[in-house]
Structure 1
């Protein structure tokens, strides 16, 4: 009796172990491993996959396993129940093996129902338990077909009936998504919207491609439950912060896995393995910085800003870091790291479904994300975080006093010792945190932004003559050059640059010679500099001085020289801007410094600067002249041509208030004897001239 019970228990465990589910229904390509070989690292994580298995007697068994932090406990109970039920059936020789499998199947459904009810009550994300149980009870078993017959469901004539459902429920096949009314820059927003709709199931898009101006496609593994979610929305997805909607067509069973054996889950696994540091366990780190742009991922889209994707990566890291990934007690294992780096991932919130990190986890880097509130960090409050980096997040702008900032963060992390690389002592003395822009007077924000955009748009034009009018009549300009060693960059700078570095001057008599005064000399020198290009989003702006009549602004950031094929350089510009009549502003002092790109920009993608062309330069649209400027132009036109004010205004309006063009047009008309005599009279009615 004891041997039969043990044998029955082993058979029940064997049947359970034959389930081969994975995230997004990705087919498994692993081979059986011997005890001396490394176990397969593919995690059995949260999914909704139905796989047909066959027992030794040939009867099919439908195993549905949803691997979750609490499912392992249910599986332990299931093994016990399966043990008792199977042993009972095997003690009676008149009962066959089908009876035992029926008992196990019944236990599977009951335990799965209990688990789903627990998950729905404790987790905010809703699981389609009713739909899943119906699929189990009605034996909707997925099949693998040798010859595929693609089926298209379109947003124009939406039809999701039995043939479409059958094609959606096939395993080991790729489905093709066709997106309409989508632009190139909409890629991230559209894919993120599709992933959020698929939650709590995980959709992994691969090979996203633009096939036209308003059409894009990608491939993915998914099943009926995910396809049904898009059908319920009439195959339409709204892009956040935009009014337009993206239309979707889905070609089901588009391609078999054998035709394109790309395993997204293995690729993500390899990427995570490469992100683990090789230090000892007490100093080990997991660097997930800018994860979605990792070269290892290739065309696989895995954005950590989606909470469900981030949680999946954490749980996958937990399994990969375990010495025995397929061990039954994997739920009790933790990721043995000290440092977790999540910077540059566009994170807006942080949600953890379980405690995945061990007791050594004390350092958390969340720089340059989109976290808007400190409360979004409460998922990590159960860890003893001693070092935290939050600079570069919108939440830093919520505090005007350092004491308030530190106090709020320490309410969540009471063991905190360092915040943003600054030690927090007992008196809460801390240097100000880094902010990309410092503008003390919020009333000046729009003025500073408008002035800088206008200045650099004019500056990056092919001909900097458009800067005329931006410099005061008594403006001063000086320039310095940093220790640039690259020969190609030195050759470019030699064509125009003057280095007025007082620490390196041997002859101070020349200092005044290269201190340019007046707009004519300044603009003439700036026109010698080759065409440049920069992006406002890369610039750091500080308003260092501000009064009603003037303000001083310091601007720095990367820039590139067009048609030079050299890597970007760094510039720093300090401008003293003074107010003039008619709400106009001019530059009274300009200090221009060029240097090497800082090392902190090595990990930042500046390809749009490196490969910029003349088409990248924004179009310059001159602003209209003020009333006083128009009066000056009218007086000058009258003085040059001796016509009256009305006719001078007519000439300037036709020339768009360009004095040279107006004078040239007048001279041509004068030679052709087309100027009426009334134009030279002191007073004349406008209607007579026109």
Structure 2
């Protein structure tokens, strides 16, 4: 409907010295709000949009970005150029003109948009707020001018001449006063049409850079099809649909395609999903198209292990000598019909046999196929000769003998080789180069830290196995690092690398500037394996998580033994040795990491927060059953914490706890204060005072956690009014009552069957540290539970369904409402079935 309200103040919009200002006058303007039609025609005069977000986006990272993305989604590719965008705490505003198709789509939506967070935002539209003058700014004209200038200044970009650079297009200084984003299909169409209509300059283009433009749709690029270009750079966009990408680029050809940092490259189907473009591009992100596989291996396409190369097994070992000078790839094939061993286990066992005295051994392109572990190696003939002649092509499997602390090697697996299965081709990995690149990424020059923790997980080592348990390999990697930056390195981190020791490493003499060394979570069994550290003036050493730590029953013995090797040590396992040597206490304990959520937002945190406020405390009844047991013990000595005469008010507050307290030392037969059942327990809890917990002080122990039961202990400090600090402990025993809940049938319901609540005097340390940190304010949770059939719940289901499936709204509505009758689980099953049977067209997806 047409809205009537007090008029805004007239004002002047300045668009720079090159353009006549826009004079906004509201006397003859018409305002529309929450309506689906308008009177007459919008004409060519200026229109003002007011976005009434009412502050709901103020706490998001970029409210303006959310609103603009929602606006561009709503216009669905029509021309729409917001000018003079003004951000407000409750209302944003901007001007547009000559955009009737886009305007009609907003009115069809009832002047409402939905942003990515799910919030529904209303729009107000003022028609005829300013006359269109001849010399005023025209966004389409400015965009065409900018594109024309860029066509006249083609660049050399990433080694390619004559590239049209449209990267980060919206940041161009000529777009200072309006929003020109290629993420809006209308703007992208205008840019592409301008390029295509300039025949002479278009023919000179050898490539396009469209990086960092938030592009999700490349449809406008189709007009540049059937021409061979050198480069198409799409880095840093939001291309997520492989089907749409392949469709849009079906006729576009270029030597190089850059797709890095797009969601499509993170898809589980990547790069197989790009197979329709095999003939269109030769190189993708620097990798030949036919080698574009995260788990690419020549074993997939280039090598047939059934016939390529020469087989070497126990029966023809003498043949091995003829390959002594070979530089080709050799394949190892280790049978494992039941896939008993993982990749990690396999190499743990295999490297037991690799000789530390011979050359470095880098398995490449591992894969498991046809009941065999397969990988390739090259330039390691002396190791291969050792494995064939000395180890007899057998991999020993260590097994711990019952009632003993020693391993036996009675079990072994025979394997075989295929020599010269492939020559080294362009695009094949070079282990040393991959390692050097990984080292470069792991060095922080600002902090002078070389972080090699879990080095195998480094980017670039996906197809190379680097086993640092081999002294030869560890020595080689540290030598590489010393040439690059170990002279500047003061902190070296080698944790989680299965290192057995550091002796016999010649590179240690190069570590004179090293001050801190982390060897945590390795396989070091004896301190004697670290005797070489005596040559380094270390100040900090971390050995936590190594088997050697278990050999010392007393901290003092452990510290003394380590300091015998490193006498200048000031910190050991993150403990300052210059104060009181000892082990750090553990603040929290989980018997099972899966129990972490119980100590956080699934149970403990909401329980304590609801307990703090009497009006919300009644909600705790959902945690108890008719068989639950609750006891409270108060041992608080008011004279100890308040040596002077306590006030009557203070005594009354303490007596509220004492009244329900059950003290077995005074009366072991007292059963009237054992509260059983949800009703009795809530009667007690509702009569206790309001409190506030110091969440920083909480120490949580999960002593048991399994499929049936969980036992949680928590202790800390709470405040019952400013002058009364209490220490407390609570023990909860929770029992699983129901399983197979939720959409995925993986959730379960737990209830408290036993709870003990103890109140006591705080220790001096607790008094000193209590409430020293201010907790950040949190958003209040929605207190009311909405009906399943309410409009809000249905809208929420539609939003969640769209996020999960990636379908357009009309398809979400069709499946969720029409076919599943708002049954979310049934809708998901229907979607999976339709997707499996290819019943969903490309246009169904966003």
Give TM-score, length-normalised by structure 1.
0.42
Higher helix share: 1
Give TM-score, length-normalised by structure 2.
0.35
Higher strand share: 2
